[in-house]
Structure 1
Amino acid sequence: MSIVLAHRLRGLHALLEMALKDERAQPRPDDRTVAGIKKKKLAIKDRLASAQARQMPSALP
């Protein structure tokens, strides 16, 4: 994964975190919206983790 793509994914993750906070701050947060945001955040986090795992050499012989 390129550094630029990783940076963009981290930025998108941060934007989703702000959207989640905004939705939760509503008097009656929409459960579907909250769940959708969380799902997107998790997908981004998983994509970043798998890319980092591929880039790091294995410590096993």
Structure 2
Amino acid sequence: MTIVLARRLRGHHALLEMALKDERSRARPDDRTLAGIKKKKLAIKDRLSVFDSASVRSTAH
């Protein structure tokens, strides 16, 4: 994974965090919407963890 892709994923993760806060601040947050946002955030976090572990291995050598 390239650094550019990692930055894009982090940016998208931040946007999802804002969407999550917005949905939670509504008078009646939609549970399905919240679950969908959380699922997307988790998928991005999983992809970033692969990138972070690969970058740690490359700097360890």
The verdict on a shared fold, with TM-score over 0.5 as the criterion, is yes
Is 1:14 aligned with 2:20?
Answer: no
**One-letter amino acid matched to 1:9:** L
Structure 1 residues not aligned, in runs of 5+:
none
Question: How does the TM-score come out when normalised to structure 2?
Answer: 0.88
Question: Post-superposition shift, 1:39?
Answer: 0.4
- What is the Cα-based RMSD across aligned positions, in Å? 1.4
Report percent identity of matched pairs: 73
**After the TM superposition, which segments of 4 or more aligned residues of structure 1 sit over 3 Å from their partners?**
none
Is 1:42 aligned with 2:42?
Answer: yes
d(CA) in 2 for partners of 1:8, 1:52: 14
d(CA) in 2 for partners of 1:57, 1:42: 23
Structure 2 residues not aligned, in runs of 5+:
none
Residues paired across the two proteins, number: 59
